[in-house]
């Protein structure tokens, strides 16, 4: 058992607290990880607001890199001393999806079996729910060994840890789900962390043009730095007409929706080429409905309407590849790290999310 500091959301809507937690030694199939860096994601805030589920208290944090300290008895994939990026979808390797070669659709993903617990306060001993099965705003955390992917140990933890969630979702929406390749036209609607990552992924794949759409001029400036060739401010211009005009009247081969709203998905639907692909990577809320569309417009367009969950990634394939591209200077993951902060500064980082100046605040441990 290890006693370490961790950031816990004890009750709905309450500020997070830095407390002492108990982290068990790894059992079968588990790994104990010394966390080195962990990004602050909107999903952490959703947990603390009770927007995901009511399984309080939560141990927050899930976009992390660190070093394996110990592994359980039967673990062979990683070993103590390995530098790893954590993922929230440890695939089983043996379900119907895994067996047909589509492990990103695995429906038997797993986390650590043992639970971390609160070590102080009146509720000491209470089991913690780790955010996305990770819980990495902590000096050490316990995960399933399959949640650890070994990457180049020379890489900067604050940058590569971000591959654990939003940056992978965006890059994967482009290169995995959208199958973006050289010369394909891409439009990305919504240029927050996820959308900008989709732009970086499209640039990496050689897409042209890469059209960034947002209602915020600051986001469009950042999108341009990350590889967008054109920008459209949809607070003043019609994004569908603008995308068509920039693609010779056809619409984009791939339109990536990275907001998660019906009206922007509808823009994506009409802004694609007749044989184009729409990729929905923004996460809608449960009350949102598919917008009204004449069925003839669906019939009249070929192509495909897809969604991308976690960038349809396979961590064991995609994390080492993207870390290598980063190390070679071909993928600028540093650009996503707006600031490095201490483990006590998470509430301040949540506050900054609302102002739109920060792509990612990253906690350094
Ligand atoms: N049209 C275009 N852009 C919009 C619109 C709109 N109507 N509304 C919002 N945006 C832009 C915002 O200005 C912002 O730049 O969408 C972007 C959303 O970015 P973030 O809030 O930073 O969210 P991000 O982390 O990128 O995630 C995007 O994916 O993972 C999910 O839950 C996440 O649904 C969210 C989405
Ligand atoms: Zn599986
Ligand atoms: Zn996240």
Question: What is the pLDDT at residue 357?
Answer: 82
Instruction: Identify the nearest ligand to the CA of 104 by its number.
Output: 2
Structure tokens at 111: 């986390």
**234 C-beta closer than 6 A to ligand 1:** yes
pLDDT, one tens digit per residue, over 173-232 is: 999 999 999 999 999 999 999 999 999 999 999 999 999 999 999 999 999 999 999 999
Q: Are 88 and 146 in contact (CB under 8 A)?
A: no
Atom of ligand 1 at shortest range from CA of 281: 29
**What percentage of the chain exceeds 90 in pLDDT?**
97
Tell which residue, 257, 259, 261, 293, has the closest CA to residue 278.
257
Residue 341: burial class (beta carbons within 10 Å; 0-12, 13-18, 19+): middle
Tell which residue, 18, 41, 12, 50, has the closest CA to residue 345.
18
Question: What is the pLDDT at residue 294?
Answer: 95
Range 319-331 average pLDDT: 98
In the chain, the domains with their CATH numbers are 2-164+332-364 (3.90.180.10), 170-310 (3.40.50.720)
Q: Are 223 and 231 in contact (CB under 8 A)?
A: yes
Report CA-CA distances (Å) from 269 to 24, 75, 239, 300, 337: 49, 46, 11, 12, 32
Q: Are 63 and 164 in contact (CB under 8 A)?
A: yes
Range 95-112 average pLDDT: 96
**264 C-beta closer than 6 A to ligand 1:** yes
Q: d(Cα 172, Cα 364) in Å, to the nearest integer? A: 25
Question: How high is the mean pLDDT of the chain?
Answer: 96
**266 C-beta closer than 6 A to ligand 1:** no
**170 C-beta closer than 6 A to ligand 1:** no
**Ligand 1 midpoint to CA 80 (Å):** 38
Tell which residue, 37, 36, 114, 34, has the closest CA to residue 68.
34
**139 C-beta closer than 6 A to ligand 1:** no
Question: What is the pLDDT at residue 354?
Answer: 84
**Ligand 3 midpoint to CA 133 (Å):** 12
**Ligand 3 midpoint to CA 114 (Å):** 23
Query: Which is it for strands 361-364 and 117-118: parallel, antiparallel or unpaired?
Result: unpaired
Choice among 132-136, 246-250, 281-285 with the minimum mean pLDDT: 281-285
- Is it the case that residue 240 has pLDDT exceeding 90? yes
Question: What is the pLDDT at residue 41?
Answer: 95
93-106: burial string, b at 16+ Cβ within 10 Å, e else:
eeeebbeeeebbeb
Beta bridge partners of 231: 212
- Is it the case that residue 355 has pLDDT exceeding 90? no
- Is it the case that residue 158 has pLDDT exceeding 90? yes
**Residue 356's pLDDT band (cuts 50, 70, 90):** confident
**146 C-beta closer than 6 A to ligand 1:** no
Report the largest interatomic distance among the alpha carbons of the chain, rounded to a whole angstrom: 65
Q: Are 205 and 172 in contact (CB under 8 A)?
A: no
**Ligand 2 midpoint to CA 108 (Å):** 5
- Is it the case that residue 70 has pLDDT exceeding 90? yes
Query: ∠ CA 249-250-253 to the nearest 5 degrees?
Result: 140
């Amino acid at each position: 058992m290890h006693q370490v500091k961790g950031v816990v959301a004890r009750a709905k809507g309450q500020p997070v607290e830095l407390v002492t937690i108990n982290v068990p030694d790894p059992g079968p199939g588990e790994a104990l990880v010394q966390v080195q860096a962990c990004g602050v994601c909107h999903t952490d805030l959703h947990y603390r607001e009770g927007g995901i589920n009511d399984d309080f208290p939560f141990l927050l944090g899930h976009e992390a890199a660190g070093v394996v300290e110990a592994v359980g008895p039967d673990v062979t994939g990683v070993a103590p001393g390995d530098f790893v990026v954590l993922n929230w979808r440890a695939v089983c390797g043996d379900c119907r999806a895994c067996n047909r070669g589509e492990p990103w659709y695995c429906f038997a993903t797993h986390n650590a079996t043992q639970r971390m617990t609160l070590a102080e306060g009146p509720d000491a001993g209470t089991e913690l729910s780790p955010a996305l099965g990770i819980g990495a705003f902590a000096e050490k955390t316990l995960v399933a060994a399959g949640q650890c992917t070994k990457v180049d140990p020379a890489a900067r933890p604050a940058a590569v840890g971000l591959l654990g969630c939003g940056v992978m979702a965006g890059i994967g929406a482009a290169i995995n789900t959208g199958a973006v390749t050289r010369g394909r036209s891409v439009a990305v609607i919504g240029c927050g962390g996820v959308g900008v990552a989709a732009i970086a992924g499209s640039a990496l794949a050689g897409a042209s043009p890469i059209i960034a759409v947002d209602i915020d001029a600051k986001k469009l400036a950042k999108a341009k730095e990350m590889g967008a060739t054109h920008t459209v401010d949809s607070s003043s211009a019609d994004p569908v007409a603008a995308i068509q005009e920039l693609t010779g009247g056809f619409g984009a081969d791939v339109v990536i929706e990275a907001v998660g709203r019906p009206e922007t998905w509808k823009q994506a639907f009409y802004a694609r080429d007749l044989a184009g692909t729409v990729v929905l990577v923004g996460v809608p809320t449960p009350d949102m409905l598919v917008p009204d569309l004449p069925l003839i417009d669906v019939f009249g367009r070929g192509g495909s309407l897809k969604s991308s969950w976690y960038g349809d990634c396979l961590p064991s394939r995609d994390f080492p590849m993207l870390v290598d591209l980063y190390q070679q200077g071909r993928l600028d993951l540093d650009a996503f790290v707006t600031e490095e902060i201490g483990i006590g500064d998470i509430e301040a980082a949540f506050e900054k999310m609302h102002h739109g100046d920060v792509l990612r605040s990253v906690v350094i441990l």
